[in-house]
Amino acid sequence: MPESKSPTSPLTVLILAAGQGTRMNSDLPKVLQPLAGKPLLAHVLDAAASLRPSVLHVVYGHGGEQVRATFAAVTHGGIPLRWTLQAEQLGTGHAVAQAMPAVDDAQLVLVLYGDVPLIRPETLQELIALADARSLALLTVMLDDPTGYGRVVRGAAGEVQGVVEHKDAGAAQRAIREGNSGILVAPAALLRRWLVQLKSNNAQREYYLTDVVAMAVRDGIAVRPLVAPTAGEVLGVNDKLQLAELEALYRRQRAEALMRAGVTVIDPARLDVRGEVTVGRDVQLDVNVVLEGPVHLGDGVHIGPNCVISATRIGAGTEIRPNCVIERAEIGERCQIGPFSRMRPEARLADEVHLGNFVEVKKSDVGRGSKINHLSYVGDSTVGSRVNIGAGTITCNYDGANKWRTEIGDDVFIGSGSMLVAPVKIGDGATIGAGSTITRDAPAKQLTLERGKQQTLEKWQRPTKKT
């Protein structure tokens, strides 16, 4: 996320996150509901921190301890993080008033909402630039259906005169399409004065923050509106339907950003990007791919259908075939992975490695040009270069209490159906006969095998079911 330059005046960001979210029908507080794999409030904090304010101040209420525990750090994005409890939810004006004692009069105050996750830093930077010690900046939005939104009332010359909440608006005011996003920037000294003048004589018996707009007009303070570039970035979340709508919008935005960067996305509606993703040239993403950042895809990487890639770097020219799950791994250049491969944390592949169908690698290093093509498990191991591991091979790394390592040298051939019982070392150039259970070190350039004597019992009868 881009960082802005420091604002002309010191900036404090107040994020209102005290709403109960009863329409969510969930034990999870509304601002902790997940969008693209992280809480709604985390998206807002990320956008706010990118502005480099003096402090991030969160006003919390319902489920407050759970919210605070989720964001336990004292900073977010390097910005100090402060918390204020709104014990009673008496409206947005009341919520801001709870935090104002901690705000210096010299600050500009940006008010954001913990359930409006798609607000863009670029829009906020433009809004902040409109505010100063004698000006209030107000973010508005043009809506086809503004039902439920406060309406921005303008005069004949287009000047903002005030904001009327939907429940308090008359028929003519409800016909106005310009809605109030609730996001504003105001000088702290004036905001403090206006907040103590708020009244709750309205349909909801609440102290509306938006009433300060009319107060600014009354006091001769300039109200400078900014219409949001898109409605999506100021949409709030009140129920699971709206949450799903924003999730779809977020997915589309991320897919479009990748396509603008040159990525071929087979179906943007079936790509899910969560977190930071960086890409090289000529990357291709097939349907139902999930990227959970940080993910880096090098030049020419192709990701097949139904793959989940999490916190992984993939080198240039590598192909991930369908139905692979890769988590916290490093993959070199020109590798071939899958189909149906799984790479677990701390799996590292050098260049030109092949992992085939139903192969799992965990906490292991696999050297250049090695192949593990079928139905095998390699865990807690070091595998050299140009190794061929046959189908059904398992490194037996866990004794029930401790994990042990398997070390396989360069140019080793492991026959199918072999069990390598760690700790064990296989020397360079060694061959392990198919069906062997190796419990001792195998010398370099020799054939090592372990097999029981094959027997045939001539008079043996297969058991039959009783009728």
> pLDDT digits over 321-342, tens only?
999 999 999 999 999 999 999 9
Judge whether residue 2 has pLDDT over 50.
no
Residue 227: strand, helix, or coil: strand
Report pTM.
Answer: 0.86
- When pLDDT is cut at 50, 70 and 90, the band that residue 282 belongs to is very high
374 catalytic residue (yes or no): yes
> pLDDT digits over 172-191, tens only?
999 999 999 999 999 999 99
- When pLDDT is cut at 50, 70 and 90, the band that residue 3 belongs to is very low
> pLDDT digits over 213-256, tens only?
999 999 999 999 999 999 999 999 999 999 999 999 999 999 99
Compute the distance between CA of residue 169 and CA of residue 164 in angstroms, rounded to an integer: 6
- What is the pLDDT averaged over residues 294-323? 98
- When pLDDT is cut at 50, 70 and 90, the band that residue 6 belongs to is very low
User: What would you measure as the largest C-alpha separation in the chain, in angstroms?
Assistant: 107
Cα angle at 346 between 341 and 348, to 5 degrees? 65
Burial class (CB in 10 A: 0-12, 13-18, 19+), 316: middle
Q: Which residue has the higher pLDDT, 146 or 312?
A: 312
Locate 276 and state its tokens. 């930071």
Q: Quick one: which of 111, 109, 113, 100 has its CA closest to 18?
A: 113
Sequence-separated (6 or more) residues with CB below 8 Å from residue 85: 59, 60, 61, 64, 98
Residue 353: strand, helix, or coil: coil
- When pLDDT is cut at 50, 70 and 90, the band that residue 58 belongs to is very high
Judge whether residue 7 has pLDDT over 90.
no
What are the counts of helices (DSSP H) followed by strands (DSSP E) for the chain? 8, 42
**Could you report how far apart the first and last alpha carbons of the chain are, in Å?**
71
441 bridge partner residues: none
Residue 202's pLDDT is what? Answer: 81
Residue 201's pLDDT is what? Answer: 85
Residue 435: strand, helix, or coil: coil
Domain ranges of the chain: 11-234, 240-448
Which amino acid does the sequence have at 413? F
Task: Report the topology of domain 240-448.
Answer: UDP N-Acetylglucosamine Acyltransferase; domain 1 (2.160.10)
Which is the catalytic residue, given 62, 76, 166, 374?
374
Residue 20's pLDDT is what? Answer: 77
Task: Report the topology of domain 11-234.
Answer: Spore Coat Polysaccharide Biosynthesis Protein SpsA; Chain A (3.90.550)
Question: Same CATH fold, 240-448 and 11-234?
Answer: no
To which residue do tokens 């502005």 refer? 51
Compute the distance between CA of residue 349 and CA of residue 362 in angstroms, rounded to an integer: 11
> pLDDT digits over 346-381, tens only?
999 999 999 999 999 999 999 999 999 999 999 999
Highest mean pLDDT, choosing among 107-111, 154-158, 460-464: 107-111
> pLDDT digits over 82-99, tens only?
999 998 889 999 999 999
Q: Which percentage of the chain shows pLDDT scores above 90?
A: 83
Residue 253's pLDDT is what? Answer: 94
- What is the pLDDT averaged over residues 253-267? 96
